Structure 1
Amino acid sequence: MNTNTSLVSVIIPCFNAERFIDEAIESILSQTYKNIEIIIVDDHSTDNTCNLLNQLYKNRNNIKIIYLNANKGPAHARNIGVKSSNGEYVAFLDADDISIPQRIELQMNCILQKSADICVSPLKNFGMRKKHINYISTSHEGLKKISTVKCPFPQPSVLGKKYIFLNHPYNENIVAEDYELWSKILFLYKFCVVSSPLIMGRNHSNSISRIQEKRVASETHLIRKHCILSYSPSLEKNIDFQILENAYAGKIMTFDELVLVSSIFYTILNTGLISRFIIKEFNDQFYWICRKHPKLTLRIITSRYLFKKNFRWFGLIKEIKMLISFLIGK
């Protein structure tokens, strides 16, 4: 079938989204690519979301609204949406985010031109904090490499062939369901990337609890390990995964252990594809780990030379910018 005319089903899970859901839906209705259906899956909202959806969109031919009788989380809602869709392709959007008007058209063209299965893009944040773009690697190999240290692309930017998500549904029993799914399909299917941000991701006050934060940390460690071994099985004998887990959890006790973490990062970095962007992403992750260990700050500042090459000057520009902002603020 011609990709440029294929039906695309856009899945929008929502829960208590009365403040933003209409903006998300309207951003899809305004797409330059017209062969679209919208599947809204309400995850048993307790606010005015259901009434709003009924008032505004109940009688639209290209919109299907599914109301769940119990709250089961976004992974379940997305899986229901995929199963209920009619499109050859599915795209995802969170209820508080916005797609730019050309999003679907650009992603479908990219899939056609690259003979790919899935297309992703960066995301531009807006809302409570300063706007910034979460850039991602522009190559499939780069996405796989980045997945060894972090989630490689934003969930709301995904558009791909429906059969993939039928064969590989979101794991409904974990919190980091998106990263877990990417850790599988990144190594099974062909990805392409639109380099400009196609999604506006809303920043707002919702935050996860410390209990949930610990659960996410535990899950992402297992996912990260899977990505590392999928990227290069030979890395298993060169990496202390317990030290790596402690590093991301903020449980490193000594500076020597932090030096070992830099060696682990160095080993992964120098396996396979390497680029300026990948080096930056690895540096940012190492900087983030160091910030989770404030008791070691003085040693980190005075003993950078002990870190592995490529990780001696991590975060320096960030620290200078923070210092300037602090001084200006005073």
Structure 2
Amino acid sequence: MKNNGKSIVLEKAPMVSIIMPSFNCEDTIVESVNSVLSQTYKNWELIIVDDASTDDTWRVVSRFVDEYDRIKAYSNSENKGAGWCRNFAIEKARGRFIAFLDSDDLWKEDKIEKQISFMLENNYALTYTYYQRLDGSDVLDIVKAPLETDYNKLLFSNVIGCLTAVYDTKKLGKRYMPLIRKRQDMALWLHILKDIPTAHCLPEVLASYRYNNGMSSNKLKVLSYQWELYRKVIGLGLMKSLFVFSVYAYKGFLKHR
């Protein structure tokens, strides 16, 4: 495994635990899992937690489990939300590194290889990458991120795409998401950034996010989740919440114009 002219012996490469919640995703999860199976980095496990799907998702997942020892799967008897599913998978994880991939998103085949090399060579605890947004098979745009971010910067804009994030349990221990319906990932990054000075970006497009126009278009609901994050989860005071929320909303307006 090579990165920036250096190499890591694959046999000694640390395990990466890949966290995948699923819900009614029979049409997309096969491609998502296949993007894990095609990784050039081989020391990984995939933990899928199905959130009481009502379609054939569980049957599809079960076929993967039967065929591949490195894929583990669990099924909820009732819908508990993506945050709960991710936390359950993190609890089961055996790897040094925790990575996240939703059941409708995709990774480039060298995503984990490049990112783990990047983290080990630079002694980073939390990293992320660029990604592209897809509408079907069409690329809408490339989402770039700053080369580093800290707690105060992240408050105003979540530049860490969940499908690109990896954190190191050797440095941070296992970290879990708050049990809120939305914005769990941003809350987790903020909690981690209270304990480390910065998170770092590998500036390459290594993942693909499927853009859901219907979900993304409900801006008022999204903003309500963001307000809940600032006030109830992060615990910001009223005045600071108003300031940070205003900047966040304005940046979102500019982004989606």
TM bin (shorter chain):
0.7 to 0.9
Instruction: Tell me the amino acid that sits aligned with residue 187 of structure 2.
Output: E
- The yes-or-no answer on 1:217 pairing with 2:226 is yes
CA deviations 1:113-172 (Å, max 9, x no partner) are: 111112211221111575211111112xx3445313111211111112236776431001
Aligned to 2:85: 77
Query: Aligned residue pairs: how many?
Result: 246
Give deviations 1:90-132, integer Å, cap 9, x for gaps.
1110110001001111111011111111221122111157521
In structure 2, relative to structure 1, the CA distance for the partners of 1:119 and 1:214 (3 Å cut) is closer
Indicate conservation of the 8 Å contact 2:50/2:85, yes or no: yes
Q: CA deviation at 1:219?
A: 2.1
Q: Kindly state the Cα deviation for residue 173 of structure 1 after the two structures are TM-superposed.
A: 3.0
Shift of 1:222: 3.5
The answer to whether the Cα contact below 8 Å between 2:156 and 2:248 also exists between their aligned partners in 1 is no
Out of 231, 251, 254, the residue aligned to residue 285 of structure 1 is: 251
More strand by share: 2
Is 1:188 equivalent to 2:195 in the alignment?
yes
Paired amino acid for 2:224: R
SS in 2 for 1:77: helix
Distance 2:161 2:126 in 1: 13
| Aligned-residue offset at 1:181 | 1.2
Residue 171 in 1 paired to residue 178 in 2?
yes
Amino acid at match of 1:44: A
Structure 1 residue 57 displacement after superposition: 3.5
Given candidates 39, 42, 57, the residue that maps to 1:49 is 57
1:168 is aligned with what amino acid? R
- 2:13 paired with 1:5: yes
Residues 255-302 of structure 1: CA distance to partner in whole angstroms, max 9, x if unpaired?
xxxxxxxxxxxxxxxxxxxxxxxxxxxxx718639x9xxxxxxxxxxx
Q: How far apart are the structure 2 equivalents of 1:246 and 1:188?
A: 26
For the residue of structure 1 that corresponds to 2:254, the secondary structure is helix
- Distance (whole Å) between structure 2 residues aligned to residue 133 and residue 21 of structure 1: 22
Query: Which residue among 96, 99, 102 is the counterpart of 1:94?
Result: 102
- Give the share of equivalent positions with the same residue, in percent: 23
Residue in 1 that maps onto 2:36: 28
Gapped regions of structure 2 (runs ≥ 5): 1-8
Q: Who wins on radius of gyration, i.e. which is larger?
A: 1
* Alpha-carbon shift at residue 205 of structure 1 (Å): 4.1
1:69 is paired with a residue whose SS is coil
CA distance in 2, matches of 1:86, 1:248: 36
Matched residue type, 1:178: D
Cα RMSD, aligned residues only:
3.2
More contact order relative to length (CA 8 Å, sep ≥ 6)? 2
Residues 204, 66 of structure 1: CA spacing in aligned structure 2 closer, same or farther, 3 A cutoff? same
5+ residue gaps, structure 1: 230-235, 250-283, 292-317, 319-330
Change (3 A) 1:164 1:44: farther
- Partner of 2:155: helix, strand, or coil? coil
Q: Residues 3-44 of structure 1: CA distance to partner in whole angstroms, max 9, x if unpaired?
A: 961111111111001010011111011001011111111111
